[in-house]
Amino acid sequence: MAQGRVRFYAGLALATLALAGCSSGGDGGAGSADAAGRGEPPSLAEMKEAAKGLVKPEPGLYARTITIENFDAPGLPAEIAGQVKGMMARDRTENFCLTKAEAEEGFRDMFENVGETSNCSYDRFAVTDGALDAQMTCAHPSQGTAVMTLQGTASATTSDVTMDMKVTGGQAPMSEMNMKMRMVSKRTGDCEG
């Protein structure tokens, strides 16, 4: 059913954004794991090297706002498309506590399982002066292929990441879908307790 496919890709998008939001950014240095010139995905070792330019987030209480800036699925019936757009029209703000242990983990979640136990791989991963530029492709046998571009900036206490996702090759009516999301996180204080 179309709603199941929307949920699948929306969940994938949110999971990817969560990883990027907690782990992206840097305030200096540069690293790149760009496969464009070689015609092959960057290796895990190349991505880990590029990630050395990322700043670890400070532990503490954070507010994260997720905004769906665009959603388009031409094959969806108008009624379902309206429902999806209505659900996504509201900004979602949540508060979460990033513990010291989680902050120390840094960027492990960005690489763990990518290309090993998932159907996703990075096509590009670059960090320069606090800016992240990455592209990931995820393929699902019955849902098509999703290409997600992540671009944004971050510091030890803030992040602002935009993800543009394009889905192709899925089953009708979701054979094509485009979604653009923005996630802004800011440290607001110390965790309670």
How far is residue 174's CA from residue 94's CA, in Å, rounded to a whole number?
A: 29
Residue 24 CA to residue 17 CA, distance in Å, equals 10
Number of domains observed in the structure of the chain: 1
Domain with 137, as residue range(s), is: 2-189
Provide the 3-class DSSP secondary structure of residue 100. helix
Q: Spell out the residues 6+ positions from residue 13 whose beta carbon is closer than 8 angstroms to its own.
A: 146, 148, 163, 165, 179, 181
Nearest to 143 by CA among 88, 86, 73: 73
Determine the longest span between alpha carbons in the chain, in angstroms.
Answer: 50
Question: Cα dist. 93→46, 84, 126, 156 in Å?
Answer: 34, 18, 28, 20
DSSP structure string for 16-73: HHHHHHHH---SS-EEEEE-TTTTSPPPHHHHHHHHTTSPPPPSEEEEEEEEEEEEE-
Separation between Cα atoms, residue 177 and residue 168, nearest integer Å: 7
Q: Which residues contact 11 (CB under 8 A, 6 or more apart)?
A: none
Euclidean distance between CA atoms 163 and 104, whole angstroms: 25
Query: What does the alpha-carbon distance between residue 56 and residue 43 come to, in Å, rounded to a whole number?
Result: 22
The pLDDT score that the predictor gives to residue 180 is: 93
pLDDT tens-place values along the chain, 193 residues long: 344 444 444 444 544 444 443 333 333 344 555 544 556 777 777 877 777 667 788 999 999 998 989 888 888 888 887 887 787 777 889 999 999 988 887 665 555 556 555 688 888 888 888 788 989 898 888 778 989 999 998 888 998 999 999 999 878 777 888 989 999 999 999 998 7
Q: Give the predicted TM-score (pTM) of the model.
A: 0.72
pLDDT attached to residue 186: 94
Question: How far is the CA of 18 from the CAs of 14, 74, 81, 150, 170, in angstroms?
Answer: 6, 27, 25, 11, 24
Whether the CB-CB separation of 95 and 65 falls below 8 Å is answered with: no
